A = this chain, B = another copy of it.
Amino acid sequence: MSLAQEMFAIAPAMGKANLSASQLKLLSGKSRWIFRVGEAGFPTIPTIALTRAAWEGLQGERGRKEAKLRTHWVACLFKLVGKDAQPPTLVVRTSAAAHNGGLMPAKMGIAAPANPEDSVDPARPLAKAIKAAFDSYGFGQGWTGRSDEDRGKQIVLVQASADGEIEQFLTRNATTGAIGPAPVDGSPLPRLPESVNALVALVDAKAGRHMCCTVAIKRGQIIFVSARPSQVSAAADLEAAVDRVNRKIWSAQNAVSRIDPTRMAQLLHPRLRSTEGMSPIAMGLGVSPGAASGAVVFNPEDAARLRARGKHCILVVNETGPSDIEGMKAATGILTARGGMSSHAGVIARITGKPCVAGVRTLSVDAAEMVCRIGDREFRTGDRLTIDGSDGAVYVGTLPLAQPHIGGAISTLLGWSNATRTIAVRTNAETVESAMTALSFGAEGIGLARSEHMFFSPERMVALRRMILSEDEDDRSRAIHGLVDFQTGDYSALFSAMKGLPVNVRLFDPPLHEFLPRTDEDIEETAASLGLAVRALRLRLERIAEVNPMLGHRGVRLAITYPEILSMQMQAIMAGVRAASDTQSEPVSVEVMVPFVSTATEVAWVRDRVNTIAANSGLLRTERVKFSFGTMIELPRACLRAGDIAQMVDFFSFGTNDLTQTTFGISRDDAPTFLAAYQRKGVYERDPFVTIDEKGVGEMIAIAIERGRAANPRLKIGICGEHAGDPASLKFFAGLGVDYVSCSPYRVPVARLTLAQASA
């Protein structure tokens, strides 16, 4: 492309633009919209463009006292002159692909150049404005690090001034997503002529997203001036997408592919189950919807620490600023003393989908002393609060939350998504309640029921502790006898709730000492309930304590050292299968999974015992039960030995959390102390516990799948780590050809949508 061709009309005052392919490629942002609307035949303000390379060519020529390019430039400027042959007043605008804070605002009211030299002399108004526009690209961050070639292609627009009233409107409603024209930022909708509807339909169809249009109105006629995308809530985006399908602008598949799954997750907020009998201790503004309960924290470090341990927390601050973003992301909810809907806290909270109550006037925070006051009550780190970001209420303590249900547009979109999705989506759940939530979100089974989570109630904990603290095998056998009944009921209820969908039960996993008492008071109580002397209990606890519990006596190691536990679990599972099978018409589909294996011998050892107990139950001979046995793959050695292991199992389920911990040598609990510095210094691009590390952990998984399938072609492959709820990771898993993923219930819609996009 010659430099002469880098000066051209994108919307000439008369006739069509007739751009070459190279010229089309230069268009982005505003220039692209002006061209497209003009091209579609809608009255559009005359506009020409020139690249930085052309501009520099003009200036170079001027130094050499030449005028060849200038002639082209003057001809180009004449494209702004309409039928009346009057040179218009001019406007100079930048036109960048991405919004960029440093760019020059539009420069209005520039007189048309009186002669050719005026059109290129930076001392004269037009050339001066063009130079300032190009210079402003240098200050923005958007172009940093681009190559010289890209820099040459930066463009500046020169427009004829619009005659008439300048007005702005959105193509769709910012809240409901309904087709516009709609008001911008709460300002009233201007009076617009009927013909605006054609413009709205045109821009909406071409953009496929909310756009903010600038138009000139003169004598009831609309002239298009410019348009830019407008960021709206995920809900509005979703409604708009469904509406476009209904209007036949998009196909259903198109809608599915256009919605960002990460943003959809933000629509699924928990809410307070009931506030009956509860009074808020304070009211603020509900600036980001959803309810959240958790421990009070005053800084990002504590928020990150709690999040790493899987705990919820509420970040309490006077007001938020850029330094609080990490803390806000880590927190479950945000509570501020100052600010409103458009405050930093509100904006960030809505973008990240965190419930937020702002502007609580009775709140004061002393971050240094780590204490806050609400009215006359004092709260310190760890105290519990519940906030409702929908109505702005603040409650003391932990109020019960209800998981969101999906309906309306989400439900419609997810329904469409099933058409292209080839990978099943299951959920991680061990209670009937969360199983039901997941089912309502479209889960196709349970991919991970963490059996140890069934012991979290106080009376069961006593029974469990008795087992862990027993001194020999006989003691232990007696202690676990009582545990079978508890578990049988749990399993039976879970199988029944899932109505024949597969339920994957992971055998007992965590380090035993996680279930043991820690505080003095707890130790004394436990000693009393077990009939032990406190001193004897302390000695026993010391012996069980581990230096690195994550890598200790857990998973399959428990099953092999304490076969009584394995036996108890299997008996409870089979009894649960029998009970559920007696009351439902669908066959019970149960999968038993052994965690934390590193050798095929371990798998064989457990498989023999599991299969014996399952066979002895007599249930496998009927058509009413489907039973399979598999293993977690969550250690590097298991990935390497996947060929040996695959021959002994029906399925692999990748535990990506532990696999990330061992592949990187990072304890997730302890990572916050250096992870922030790592991200700040650019050592990690992303947190590997949020998005799968494709080059390391990902290769481990790929090796295991390849070796496993080679050894056992019927091997079923699942993913049950938390990465199974992260869109970027899900795309990677889809590429590996897994059979299913399993994520937390409220992530099921995210996984469904992401996998539909990945399979399309």
Contacts and interface: CB of A to CB of B under 8 A. Distances in A.
A552 interface: yes
B637 A697 contact: yes
B552 A549 contact: no
Contacts of A695: 640-641
A681 interface: yes
A116 to B, nearest CB: 54
Nearest to A670: B552
B640 A683 contact: no
A547 B547 contact: no
Interface stretch (A63-71, A200-208, A529-537, A672-680): A672-680
Interface in A538-578: 546-553, 557, 560-561
A691 interface: no
A683 B553 contact: no
A641 B696 contact: yes
A550 B669 CA distance: 12
Contact of A670 (B548, B560, B596, B682): B548
Contacts of A665: 551, 596, 598, 634-637, 658, 662
Interface in A663-707: 663-667, 669-670, 673-674, 677-678, 681-684, 693, 695-697, 699-700
Contacts of A221: none
Which has the most chain B C-beta neighbours within 10 Å: A553, A641, A700?
A: A553
Contacts of A546: 667, 669-670, 673
A485 to B, nearest CB: 28
A601 interface: yes
Nearest to A672: B553
Nearest to A635: B665
Given A551-B548, A552-B667, A665-B596, A682 B560 contact: no
Contacts of A548: 548-551, 667, 669-670
A663 B683 contact: no
A678 B597 CA distance: 13
Contact of A662 (B557, B602, B605, B636): B636
A332 interface: no
Contacts of A637: 663-665, 693, 696-697
Contacts of A547: 549-550, 667, 669-670
Contacts of A677: 560-561
A678 B666 CA distance: 26
A683 B560 contact: yes
A382 B170 CA distance: 78
A561 B674 contact: yes
A599 interface: yes
Given A560-B681, A598-B665, A663-B662, A670 B553 contact: yes
Nearest to A637: B696
Contacts of A634: 665
A526 interface: no
B560 A696 contact: no
A159 interface: no
A674 B661 CA distance: 21
A601 B551 contact: no
A507 to B, nearest CB: 15
B635 A664 contact: yes
A337 B669 CA distance: 48
A734 to B, nearest CB: 21
A557 B676 CA distance: 11
Interface string A633-645: 0111100110000
Interface string A595-610: 0101101100100000
Which has the most chain B C-beta neighbours within 10 Å: A670, A681, A700?
A: A670
Contacts of A667: 546-548, 550-552
**Number of copies of this protein chain within its complex:** 2
Q: How large is the interface on A (under 10, 10 to 19, 20 to 34, 35 or more residues)?
A: 35 or more
Contact of A636 (B552, B663, B674, B681): B663
Given A658-B665, A663-B662, A683-B601, A553 B636 contact: no
Contacts of A673: 546, 552-553, 561
A674 B560 contact: yes
A625 B695 CA distance: 37
A423 to B, nearest CB: 25
A24 B696 CA distance: 56
Nearest to A553: B673
Contacts of A557: 674, 678
A697 B598 CA distance: 11
Contact of A598 (B560, B596, B599, B696): B696
Contact of A664 (B549, B550, B598): B598
Nearest to A546: B670
Interface in A587-642: 596, 598-599, 601-602, 605, 634-637, 640-641
Interface string A222-263: 000000000000000000000000000000000000000000
Nearest to A634: B665
Which has the most chain B C-beta neighbours within 10 Å: A551, A658, A663?
A: A551
A568 to B, nearest CB: 18
Contact of A550 (B551, B560, B605): B551
A65 to B, nearest CB: 50
Given A551-B551, A557-B674, A674-B560, A636 B700 contact: yes
Nearest to A599: B683
B658 A635 contact: no
A548 B666 CA distance: 9
Which has the most chain B C-beta neighbours within 10 Å: A552, A636, A695?
A: A636
A602 B673 CA distance: 16
Nearest to A552: B670
Nearest to A695: B641
A640 B696 contact: yes
Which has the most chain B C-beta neighbours within 10 Å: A549, A560, A637?
A: A637
A530 to B, nearest CB: 21
A666 B636 CA distance: 11
Contacts of A684: 599, 601
A547 B550 CA distance: 8
- Which 6 A-B pairs rank lowest in CB-CB distance, beginning with the nearest? A548-B667, A551-B667, A637-B696, A552-B670, A636-B636, A547-B669
22 contacts: A548-B548, A548-B549, A548-B670, A550-B551, A550-B667, A551-B551, A551-B666, A552-B673, A557-B674, A560-B681, A561-B673, A561-B677, A561-B678, A596-B665, A599-B684, A601-B684, A605-B681, A636-B665, A637-B664, A637-B665, A637-B697, A662-B665
Interface of A: 546-553, 557, 560-561, 596, 598-599, 601-602, 605, 634-637, 640-641, 658, 661-667, 669-670, 673-674, 677-678, 681-684, 693, 695-697, 699-700
Given A561-B677, A602-B683, 13 more contacts: A548-B549, A548-B667, A549-B670, A550-B551, A551-B665, A551-B666, A552-B667, A553-B673, A561-B678, A598-B665, A601-B682, A640-B695, A640-B700
